[in-house]
Amino acid sequence: MRREIEREEEVYLQSEDDIERLATAVEACQSELPDEVGPGFKPIPAGCQLLLGLEAPSSNSSVQDLRAEAAMLVRSHELRMPIGVKFRPVRTARAPPLDSFGKWLTNFGEGHFKTLDKILSKRHIRTTEETRDLLLLQLWDALFNGFPQGLRQGRFG
């Protein structure tokens, strides 16, 4: 569910030049997330987050150190392998608009996976049907608000 809300996709880079431009865009980013993309690489807009497996900044490492590591990982990336990208990552400028239920679903502090029992108990939802309706609303938003304007208007090429 979270992957749909954040529009997580795999992106294949087309050339070594693409790899270098993406690494440069990561280095240009000014946010607090070391794996966030900055301006300069059109296929992956500024504010998207790369899924590179970096650790969160700690007292031993700064955001700048981790950003340099992220850029190094991008530069060492093989063309035939995809890069995971969150196009609407929470806690960024590109975050999707979420209601309280959507925010709770994407809250990493309460564990990655939420079972139906956990959803029903934590959110004081009375029925499975009510849960289904809330989940469908989140998916509706992800489907119709998470794609570029051209795709929503039926232009695919």
Q: Where are the domains of the chain?
A: 2-86, 100-152
**Structural contact between residues 32 and 63, judged by C-beta atoms closer than 8 angstroms:** yes
Retrieve residue 50's tokens: 């790369």
Indicate the pLDDT class of residue 5, thresholds 50, 70 and 90. confident
Phi and psi, residue 147, nearest 5°: -105, 155
Share of the chain above pLDDT 90, in %: 40
Phi and psi, residue 44, nearest 5°: -125, 100
Name the packing angle between helices 63-75 and 16-28 (round to 10°). 170
CA torsion angle for 94, 100, 105, 106 (degrees, to 10)? Answer: 30
pTM: 0.77
Indicate the pLDDT class of residue 123, thresholds 50, 70 and 90. low
Give the length of the chain: 157
